[in-house]
Chains A and B, each alone.
Chain A
């Protein structure tokens, strides 16, 4: 009953749709940013959205979402362009240029924000909400704007899929084919600014960086193909957006943005541990399997070469466990050996002989 009530709640519907749209756009575009090693560019662009928000407010005098989106798109792209210019035309490295653009644009934003507050415009209230996002204040009309931006971006991405893919993985080859690589790269970066714009209302300028990076980083673990990665990233973005928004609504008072980001981070950690093939956990399991296999081969080899070994011979715990395991598998058995005056010894069974011969043959192939 509580769930039904929640689902029919107008604000909750808006928040969930908004969060899904955010995941849908930030996941795929984040993939390109992460693959092109521009993960932190999203951070710079999102911080640089603040002066755009303030400028649009100063010009239009209202908190109209369309104007705010255009403003933040302009300053976000400007920051990215200036960053590129700083690295191309001076000897500053990418990291310093990013940090400088991020902090200076944000500082300009703060100055403009305090300027607006100084003018005592009645409708300026809540402009600061864009710092951390204000998911609950999402309106239906905002959703239409966010939805159309998402749709257009994804359509453009689909139309230029081949070009985007080639520029991401082999820009030099793309250039030799005569593709306008700089233009494609610039538009991929500008599209990150679009994702940031959609996320402003939901998670705010500070945490938007995580929504670019986290879904893409998680998706990278599950797929080796760009298409699959994009789809999974979109899924991860939607799941973390919706669950973060739900937890926030249920808890009444916890900020939505941080919850969405933490959900996405949790998904990244799970992916790092469990993703098939790349997961860290599988790596550990594989390591122990190989170790056991090697120990088995060594034991069989030794028993084959030395026929029987007195059971009393001091052995490590690991090798004793392996001996018992081999006995269970029917490769070896306890025998009475004439060589050691009738003491209890380990010896190969017929099945063990055959297995050991294979091992010895493999060893000798390697040795020769």
Chain B
């Protein structure tokens, strides 16, 4: 029966979409909290460079080599950015804006040169094609499981294993880096490890959703969760739930309107962010308005005399 379910096209696609969201929002949560969200933008663009280089060296388009290559490219992006910013000649955001377009351009040019024998083209790189994940399956436990689902599940496990292992260190490094450093938790090392996981997740998500939509899955559910709760562990749960809900609703809307499935899933994360922004129980705009109005109507009590 499970085999039947998997051979249906809908379930693998929804599962892959949800997995992309769960894995990316796990690392995205820390990026949002640390104020480094745009690094996901930089990384997701510059791993195009990494993918092409690894492909040229090993002729492998996916698999562990690509994941490691992506992790190194992500690290390279961040190190180049920090090197530029540390010259004090350009600001941090300018440095990001200089590094990733350059790496992305080199990647695109290499694709241009070797286009005749590369299977990955710029279109796939940017947009991905989640609708075709069920075409590329491998047999596990006698079931045809989409390869993208396997790689995304591995990345989800890796991300959550890392977060689970270093939960209190990551928490402290995120909210009080100075204290974490005095305790010897090496916050910058943790941060680099996190960024390497981010880029590996990005490359695993690549086939499914492409470079730009990965940013949506990494940042938007985490941002929505940030508007809804004050607890770190709650952010992961809300992020994962939003990812699953976006994946399901995005798939059916996309099929209904005959549009890009990955794009529609990303749009749905945006819808959830809007809802959280407007109607969040504590920080939502509407809640704030109601609170302000109530405060205005409430009779001002005279200061009690001593």
Contacts and interface: CB of A to CB of B under 8 A. Distances in A.
B213 A107 contact: yes
Interface residues of B, number: 59
B103 to A, nearest CB: 10
A95 B37 contact: yes
13 contacts: A38-B93, A92-B32, A92-B226, A99-B223, A100-B216, A103-B212, A106-B213, A110-B263, A210-B102, A258-B104, A262-B102, A268-B98, A280-B87
B270 A100 contact: yes
Given A43-B41, A104-B216, 16 more contacts: A38-B93, A40-B96, A90-B277, A95-B35, A103-B220, A103-B270, A104-B267, A106-B212, A107-B266, A110-B263, A209-B97, A213-B101, A214-B98, A253-B112, A258-B109, A261-B105
A104 B273 CA distance: 10
Contacts of A262: 102, 105-106, 109
A106 B209 CA distance: 12
Interface string A181-215: 00000000000000000000000001101101110
A272 B257 CA distance: 50
B123 interface: yes
A132 interface: yes
A308 to B, nearest CB: 46
B104 A207 contact: yes
Interface of A: 34, 37-40, 42-43, 47, 86, 89-100, 102-104, 106-115, 118, 128, 131-132, 206-207, 209-210, 212-214, 216-217, 220-221, 253-255, 257-259, 261-262, 265, 268, 272, 278, 280
A269 to B, nearest CB: 9
Contact of B37 (A39, A96, A209, A272): A96
B260 interface: yes
B212 A111 contact: no
A263 B285 CA distance: 45
A104 B266 contact: yes
B259 A255 contact: no
B126 A103 contact: no
B219 A99 contact: yes
